[in-house]
Amino acid sequence: METASCSILNALCFSTSAVTASVKNSSLCLLPKSNLCLLPSFSSNFPRNFNFHGKNLQFNAFAAFSSPSSAQNQNPSQELAVLLEVDGVLMDAYRLGNRQAFNLAFQKLGLDCANWTEPVYSDLVRRSAGNEERMLILYFNRIGWPTSLPTNEKESFVKSVLREKKNALDALMVKSLPLRPGVEDFIDDACNKGIPVIILTSYSKSGDEISRSIVEKLGSERLSKIKVVGNEEVEKSLYGQLVFGKAMSSGLDEQLAKEARKAASAEKQRIANEVASMLKVSVNIDTSSSESLEKIVAALRAGSEIAGIPVHNCVLIAGSKSGVTGAEQIGMPRVVLRSSFTSRAEFPSANAIMDGFGGADLTISKLCQKHWP
């Protein structure tokens, strides 16, 4: 649905007097869920229930600092930092390279009869709701499985195709796929306004190394003006050292919470195994979600720390549900940039949902403009 375009986001700013008063009262504070941060205790207002009209825009409550108009003359870098994910934000690899990667995987495995044209690929995506394993099963059920493949090895065959497809997609992302239109101008605009730009590679699905190779497409001059937060940067950050025990052990509450999660996961697995034994099936419960979220939160905290901006004054430009969840947990504003992979996904906790960079979509000006409804 398309409506008239206007400003979507508000300046995250505060008055000079508020900063002076807050800095004097700064302290080491223990945030909920044992998230430690060394931050001044800024006073803030969090406007709710905005009604913005913009192109393909959904908007919930955007947590922002309000201020008198005199604060608008301050350096924006004191008020706002932008954190960018790689997957779906810097590059929309699924739109440009996913089908091609599948065809390269088929060639690598000697499956000469398998080739996905655009109509075939689109139909499989629609019928499987984007589940790639299901896409392969539907396809080979239609054209026939390799004659030399035993029936009981279909699952391992599908996994081998997906493995080769991932390798092919990684290579395409590094070598030939372009960055998302408008992202370079978006970053340049932020840098010109003195707004810190942080690119997060540590929790990318493609991995830290591949993601850094994608970031290099921005060019050396642009890279000199931004910061990249990968695994090493997270581990060296204050929050990373506290949480992952590099400098000191985590707080007692956090340790107890971790042990409780482990115990709960173990009990779930035990019950699942008992049920599975009765049904004569194999059941394995995924316990990695909490660990993945912990890694995402650590990356977001590290990004805020490296930018030198409080978490509530950083905005995550996300292309993944997991990133949005992590940002929500620590109270970081979050804007979703839709990609071909998330075109139909729901993001109820996102503050805004946009289709791309520039024009009627996401711009630095829209992040910086103060425009109360």
Give dist(CA 55, CA 129) in Å, integer.
25
Q: Is the pLDDT at 99 greater than 70, yes or no? A: yes
Q: Is the pLDDT at 293 greater than 80, yes or no? A: yes
**Nearest of 142, 147, 81 to residue 111 by alpha carbon:** 147
Span 117-146, average pLDDT: 90
Q: Is the pLDDT at 72 greater than 50, yes or no? A: no
Kindly report the pTM of this predicted structure.
0.65
Encode pLDDT of 30-68 as tens digits.
334 334 333 333 333 333 333 333 444 444 433 333 333
Give dist(CA 333, CA 331) in Å, integer.
6
Residue 275 pLDDT level (bands cut at 50, 70, 90):
low
Span 360-365, average pLDDT: 93
The answer to whether the beta carbons of residues 149 and 321 sit under 8 Å apart is no
Residue type, 328: E
Radius of gyration over every alpha carbon of the chain, rounded to an integer in angstroms: 23
HSE-up of 36 (CA within 13 Å, CB side)?
Answer: 16
**Nearest of 196, 260, 204, 258 to residue 230 by alpha carbon:** 204
3-state class (DSSP) for residue 334? strand
CB count within 10 Å of CB 160 equals 14
H or E stretch including 223? helix 220-223
More confident residue, 242 or 247: 242
Encode pLDDT of 207-216 as tens digits.
889 999 999 9
The answer to whether the beta carbons of residues 200 and 229 sit under 8 Å apart is yes
Q: How many residues does the chain have?
A: 373
Dihedral angle, C-alpha 342, 346, 351, 352, nearest 10 °:
50
**Nearest of 25, 56, 35 to residue 311 by alpha carbon:** 35
Give residue 261's pLDDT.
Answer: 63
Enumerate residues 6+ apart whose C-beta is below 8 A from 244: 235, 298
End-to-end, the C-alpha distance of the chain in Å comes to 21
Residue with tokens 């984007």: 130
The answer to whether the beta carbons of residues 281 and 302 sit under 8 Å apart is no
Give dist(CA 89, CA 106) in Å, integer.
28
The answer to whether the beta carbons of residues 368 and 80 sit under 8 Å apart is yes
